[in-house]
């Protein structure tokens, strides 16, 4: 499972919590009215105040995995068993995202008193294992030629911008040797933490409007556009930048996300540790030998050698 999948799941759960405290467009009066799940879901989605990309994810999960099972069922007749049938057999990350959307919908149903108890309560999806994302170090990227998108790929690796943020950049966002990240192609940045200032390294060139061009250039090397943010994070780590500073530069709202990259260890680092410890041991041994061979011991050694020579 990728970090983008984790973030989408978190978006769903955060939205569920935020909507408890923020006002959304009021739904029509639905109390004690029987309604099919499809119709109810459409009205809930229309009332949510979320980013377009998040809404597209909600609707995609619903259309692909929920509607076919629950769409024609009355809300009050949905059971835990039917919800489990929705997610069974789905890949772990997809199951968790689908379950998050179902929880969101039933929370709204509870708020409107369409149901007394949520059938999704206690339903757990399969355990999700987050696999470390493959990325290239800066040295590897610097030695690789990516064709016509060479400059753009290096720019992302040296600044840690999300593709949606890089596409939204204009010359007015770059001044005084810094990049002022305030927006994305979807409108606002991914979170409030996404609004940040990043040191400018090199020249900015306008990015293509669709990510497929960069994806195609990166695919032969086994990495993605998002992998370049990991390259940037690894550059910061290698240069001794504190994790809290790296969090701000990367626009992470949660330092745990930054730490997940900072705590990764490459095979080359293990080799380097071996070399450092070996060198330290050699220096310690040399120091021990030099301290043990004092001038007094040296004189005794010379006297003994003279005595042996005169015999």
pLDDT tens column, 4-21 = 555 555 555 555 554 544
| CB 164 within 8 Å of CB 234 | no
- Determine the Cα–Cα distance for residues 171 and 280; give it in Å rounded to an integer: 50
More confident residue, 248 or 277: 248
pTM for the full predicted model: 0.57
Query: Please, what is the average pLDDT of the chain?
Result: 82
* Strands, E assignment, the chain: 174-175, 178-181, 196-199
Domains of the chain: 3-111 (1.10.150), 138-262 (1.10.443.10), 278-310 (no CATH)
Task: Work out the widest C-alpha separation in the chain, in whole angstroms.
Answer: 119
pLDDT tens column, 110-142 = 999 889 999 999 999 888 666 666 899 999 999
pLDDT at residue 29, as a whole number? 44
The least confident of 45-49, 123-127, 139-143, 157-161 is 123-127
Tokens of 51: 């980013």
Of the CA atoms within 13 Å of residue 36, those in its CB half-sphere come to 11
% of the chain surpassing 70 pLDDT: 75
């Amino acid at each position: 499972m990728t970090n983008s999948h984790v973030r989408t799941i978190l978006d769903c759960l955060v939205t569920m919590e935020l909507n408890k405290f923020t006002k959304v467009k009021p739904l029509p009066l639905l109390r004690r009215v029987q309604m099919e799940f499809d119709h109810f879901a459409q009205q809930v989605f229309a009332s949510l105040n979320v980013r377009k990309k998040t809404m597209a994810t909600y609707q995609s999960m619903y259309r692909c995995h929920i509607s076919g099972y629950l769409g024609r069922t009355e809300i009050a007749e949905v059971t835990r068993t039917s919800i489990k049938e929705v997610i069974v057999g789905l890949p772990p990350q997809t199951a968790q995202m689908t379950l998050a959307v179902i929880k969101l919908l039933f929370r709204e149903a509870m708020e409107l008193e369409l149901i007394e108890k949520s059938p999704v309560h206690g339903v757990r999806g399969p355990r999700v294992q987050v696999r470390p994302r493959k990325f290239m170090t800066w040295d590897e990227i610097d030695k690789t030629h990516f064709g016509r998108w060479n400059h753009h790929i290096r720019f992302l690796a040296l600044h840690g911008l999300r593709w949606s943020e890089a596409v939204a950049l204009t010359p007015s966002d770059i001044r005084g040797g810094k990049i002022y990240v305030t927006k994305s192609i979807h409108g606002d940045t991914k979170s409030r933490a996404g609004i940040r200032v990043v040191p400018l390294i090199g020249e900015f060139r306008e990015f293509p409007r669709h990510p497929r061009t960069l994806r195609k250039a990166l695919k032969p090397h086994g990495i993605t556009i998002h992998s370049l943010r990991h390259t940037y994070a690894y550059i910061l780590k290698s240069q001794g930048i504190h994790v809290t500073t790296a969090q701000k530069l990367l626009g992470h709202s949660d330092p745990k996300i930054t730490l997940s990259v900072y705590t990764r260890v490459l095979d080359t680092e293990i080799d380097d540790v071996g070399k450092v410890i070996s060198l330290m041991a050699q220096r310690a041994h040399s120091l021990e030998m030099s301290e043990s061979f004092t001038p007094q011991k040296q004189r005794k050694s010379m006297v003994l050698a003279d005595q042996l020579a005169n015999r």
